[in-house]
Structure 1
């Protein structure tokens, strides 16, 4: 029953919510009926015979109380209605304000939309324009009324590439035809939804980028012209290099041959001057070509293992004659914490250090140059320091020395010469290798160039083991030498090995200190004076088991004098670490004939022998294709002196004919030296034809070496692609030619 009542009540509530007017009429009729019925009942009761005044009064009072309650309820309901109306009024005011703000924002957005300089157009799913701004109307030269509802689009003259962003926006450029002429427009197209009651529309926003595009085209054309000019410059350098190297090959080569003949002292001086001038010109050409390669981004770096100590000490030995000719010292120090083998480009590193150390010698009037190699501050890096005691560089000039064609000042350029390219080339190569180069200098106090380059250690076992380090812990060693760079680095090395080193720069003091204690070794620099050094050696015989004299290649002949017999060994400056270690670890013997440690350094390899080269026991048959008569004469003379049989061909056609004839006769050539630039048939094409003929024949492959003045990378690539086996650059170096021939003979097992 209760469930039935609740269901009826719910149905009535739903009916009331659906028909509020019916509910109001029902309440009004019910209220009126109750009031009328009550009033009528009281009036009727007052007229009846059974009228009871007390009961009537009670009834009236009850009706009055009901009326008061009804009035109170009505009053409360009226107050509640007023409160509700007040809230509704406030809400209406808020809505009105919001509506005004929305209208204002809409007007502002519309004004902003229509006043935009960018082109804005909205299209529906059918491609019809639903909204457009003034900028689009001006560019299209049409009114907004004509555009709305149409499918109008600006005529496209050229379509650029398009891209899609992550949010789905499409970006593309178009060259369109307008009343103002062709214009480039950059469009951004994406779907936008105005409100929930309308479908999404395609919004296209375009910006006039004609000026930017024309600038880009102009820059592109300028870049193309610059690249063309750069290629023309490279071709010019290649041609100029070839044209200069060809006669330079004759100058340097012939002067070298002339020095091997019998000349008067005056003639020898003149010939050496000619050869030195040719070498200087060759160095200038190499710097210009290096700068051209770096500027064109064609510098290639190798990554091969090499022995670091050999590289550094080879550099000091190579520069030693130049330094000693200026009465300077040059020495190297390699920290033993460094790995034996590292991975990098040894050729480029050699070029950098030769440049820095060569400059140091050039700008150092007295003192010397030190090349110090230590671990870098970052893992895997090595620090190379080139220190000198030269003229120094002013602070304002230090920022200029790394620029191309710049030197510290004009006075230095006049006094010392040079192109100003060396440091610029070194700086660019160091940066290309991932390193940095810095400079510290004070005028009159020398300079220090520091190069830090990442050179990781070679993981595989080195081909050569590290020399045995002598254990000199607690052993006293006397070093008698001037206060020079070589002496300071040698003392540093000995102290690292544990020796108690006493460095003395006065012979008299050395004589006085010798009897004071037994010495493990006495090292004496020949620069202290030959007679004084020999006397000190005699004194040291009674106090030191090892007595070593340090000489230069130019003073080595003094070791043949009788006074030198007091020394048990000698070292040639600049000193090699392995030679020092071997000498100090050697068994101490009496004052017999001088001995030098085994090794390349202690042999007199720094001076070229004046004796003619001994001919090999078996010669090679060599075809030389060379169109320049002087160069052909030079090459024939060099090869003949080396004991080989030479046939000359003036161009590629004759070289090919000679090669074919030799093969047909059963006496093929062992080697072909092929000039690249020749008339009628150049060296590259001749090589290709030889390789094509060899492909259809049985037998050994002829070795072909390019012999050319073109030193650019592209020329080398063309030679190797044609099938050549090697590359010899003019001016032809006699040693490199001999090495190439020795390598060929070794490959063919021909005894030299």
Structure 2
């Protein structure tokens, strides 16, 4: 049977049904055939029912003898219904499968549409965020063509942003010094730089970040750039750099100004101080001597202030240099104490020094800077102490687990409020606002001291309370060579008992500590109890302050009567009391110890079997006389361009019995010193002179002497610059020695004598 469509089958069934109804003479019930897909299952069942019904009717027609055409027609309809039902069942299965597939596809398409809608919405939010970000955002392909840019690019370039699509940044006038293509081999890369973009509003700066990345699905590489406008920051940075440069220039100018002015002020001050010293050596009335003393004191204070200002300017300009070298700690500390003794004794206060025997003999340090630190601390302590005294103690310690030395300065001054302890280390600050008027000074001493200590990698601590004095402790990481002699003498006074009677508690304490540190026993005798009846003790040595002794020796006699009997009697004498040496000897004192006492000198005196003679503590005048006696009548050439300094040198040397000639520049000095018949024994050469400076003049003299085969003449350099670097520099140029300005007549003559003796 040829294949028929569903509609064709229905039409044939309807025609067969009509013929059967006509032959029967009675209309038959029309079969229900549904074309609606919704009733397809019901139609299939109806066709089966109709087929069996028609089959029954055909049988009935045959049995009743009805016309053959009728039952044949009924049979034909029955077979056609069965065939159509079978075909329909198979078609419905296919249709149902297709319907299920179509329904699944519809669901997938709906899900895909939902996802696409969500992605589109997310993309819109993303680009909306980029538009509102405020930073420039550009997306480019690997060739640099713009795929997307937010509105900031259009505003920056003064154009519609759509006009930039497809173009490169270079085409738009933006050069990016980042080459991210090399990162494509690894997939992603981030790099940043600052980019300048010229716009209609002028030059704009952007912090440009470039991100190079690959699409994970397509593998295509592209660039994302995010740039933030940092023009304001750049302008601020430029302004800051310019301000810093101007500040540095101003600081350098100020430093040069201070250095120049300090030098210009220091030069005449040196002359004033030198002349005051010479004047004090002449015959003066009491009133005149008072005036000269005031001149010396005032000029010394002004010179100290100038030195502070110069040091401060160096520190502020970052030009502070340290020159570490091997130095003798004991010699330096004791010489500083001796130098400050005059100021302490002038105020009738005590000044003592104790150095532990465990302190190394030599350490590596900058002697000039360490000296300055100790001078500042001692100077402050003496300035603010009206009664009592000042004590400097040096002991070994540790800093950060490494060997160090501690220098402790104690005083009995008014003390410092707790809230002022930190402020006093600041520039131009003192403990109280009124102290500048009462005590003088610019408030720079401690500020400079702290910066010097910190430059030497040390620390400084202040401890004080009102009415209890103050203690300043400086700890420096100074390691050095052990003093074997000091170690050997650490128990050298074992078994010794030393009595100490001093008018100042600090000095008595310093002597007592030194005795105990070397294994001895010490007893400090109360000055008020010395004249009272008391049971004293037998002593190996008795040290008595000369200021407590009478001309008739009654103090020593009273001590003996009270039981303080000693094998050796030693007087502790100040420089101003040297004229009493004869009476002290006559009253039973066999040895003399100069104030402030040096530990080594005291040890030698206590351990010596022969009493020390007074000559062991010579006065400055005695030293000057000794110098005169040894080498008198020397012919000295002074090369000095400053008239006052030249006059000072001439006066000091002439008084010592020498002949002096003066030249005012280095060229004149070189001319007279490069002659075969030069008449001079020694030369004083200023370091800085017009026409030819001192170093060049010295170099010329040494070349002449070498070529002529002449013995080198001693040349002493005169300079206010006492830095070790300067000293070494002049010695390297052929100088024989160095004399620091301001010129001190006694030191000048002593230096002259030393070099002539050599």
Give me the TM-score of the superposition, normalised by structure 1: 0.74
**Kindly tell me: are residues 702 and 467 of structure 1, through their superposed partners in 2, closer, same or farther at Cα, counting changes over 3 Å?**
same
More displaced, 144-153 or 521-530?
521-530
Does structure 1 residue 551 correspond to structure 2 residue 566? no
**Kindly tell me: are residues 695 and 207 of structure 1, through their superposed partners in 2, closer, same or farther at Cα, counting changes over 3 Å?**
farther
Paired residue for 1:310?
A: 331
- Asked whether the equivalents of residues 538 and 566 of structure 1 are also in contact (C-alpha less than 8 Å), the reply is no
Does structure 1 residue 155 correspond to structure 2 residue 173? yes
Counterpart Cα distance in 2 of 1:569 and 1:620 = 36
What SS does the aligned partner of 2:480 have? coil
More displaced, 547-556 or 320-329?
547-556
Structure 1 residue 190 displacement after superposition = 4.0
- Asked whether the equivalents of residues 653 and 686 of structure 1 are also in contact (C-alpha less than 8 Å), the reply is no
1:732 to 711, 732, 743: 743
**Kindly tell me: are residues 638 and 356 of structure 1, through their superposed partners in 2, closer, same or farther at Cα, counting changes over 3 Å?**
same
1:121-200 equivalences under 5 Å are 121-153=138-170, 154-155=172-173, 169-200=190-221
Paired residue for 2:454?
A: 431
Larger radius of gyration: 2
- Residue by residue over 1:578-637, the C-alpha shift from the partner in whole angstroms, topping out at 9 and shown as x without a partner, is 2333334344x8xxxx53699xxx523577757584165487765444344333333333
Does structure 1 residue 391 correspond to structure 2 residue 401? no
2:368 to 347, 367, 370: 347
Counterpart Cα distance in 2 of 1:449 and 1:86 = 97
**Kindly tell me: are residues 173 and 464 of structure 1, through their superposed partners in 2, closer, same or farther at Cα, counting changes over 3 Å?**
farther
**Kindly tell me: are residues 356 and 688 of structure 1, through their superposed partners in 2, closer, same or farther at Cα, counting changes over 3 Å?**
closer
Paired residue for 2:84?
A: none
What SS does the aligned partner of 1:413 have? helix
1:587-602 equivalences under 5 Å are 587=609, 594-595=611-612
- Asked whether the equivalents of residues 630 and 753 of structure 2 are also in contact (C-alpha less than 8 Å), the reply is no
Paired residue for 2:223?
A: 202
1:663 to 642, 660, 675: 675
Counterpart Cα distance in 2 of 1:634 and 1:539 = 54
Paired residue for 1:457?
A: 480
What SS does the aligned partner of 2:199 have? coil
**Kindly tell me: are residues 674 and 389 of structure 1, through their superposed partners in 2, closer, same or farther at Cα, counting changes over 3 Å?**
closer
What SS does the aligned partner of 1:327 have? coil
Paired residue for 1:417?
A: 440
Structure 1 residue 300 displacement after superposition = 1.0
- Asked whether the equivalents of residues 435 and 454 of structure 1 are also in contact (C-alpha less than 8 Å), the reply is yes
Aligned residues: 649
Paired residue for 1:580?
A: 602
Structure 1 residue 200 displacement after superposition = 2.4
Counterpart Cα distance in 2 of 1:105 and 1:292 = 65
Cα RMSD over matched residues?
Answer: 4.5
1:287 to 291, 308, 315: 308
Structure 1 residue 535 displacement after superposition = 0.8
2:465 to 442, 465, 486: 442
Paired residue for 1:367?
A: 388
- Residue by residue over 1:531-585, the C-alpha shift from the partner in whole angstroms, topping out at 9 and shown as x without a partner, is 4432145448995434444333334544432785544544333222223333343
Gaps of 5+ in 2: 1-95
Counterpart Cα distance in 2 of 1:727 and 1:94 = 100
What SS does the aligned partner of 1:232 have? helix
**Kindly tell me: are residues 580 and 731 of structure 1, through their superposed partners in 2, closer, same or farther at Cα, counting changes over 3 Å?**
closer
More displaced, 479-488 or 325-334?
479-488
Counterpart Cα distance in 2 of 1:209 and 1:606 = 72
Paired residue for 2:297?
A: 276
1:683 to 693, 711, 729: 693
Paired residue for 1:25?
A: none
Structure 1 residue 308 displacement after superposition = 2.0
**Kindly tell me: are residues 500 and 265 of structure 1, through their superposed partners in 2, closer, same or farther at Cα, counting changes over 3 Å?**
closer
Structure 1 residue 696 displacement after superposition = 10
- Asked whether the equivalents of residues 374 and 383 of structure 1 are also in contact (C-alpha less than 8 Å), the reply is yes
- Residue by residue over 1:656-681, the C-alpha shift from the partner in whole angstroms, topping out at 9 and shown as x without a partner, is 5445xx42657688646146253xx2
Give me the TM-score of the superposition, normalised by structure 2: 0.73
1:214-253 equivalences under 5 Å are 214-253=235-274
Paired residue for 2:347?
A: 326
What SS does the aligned partner of 2:363 have? strand
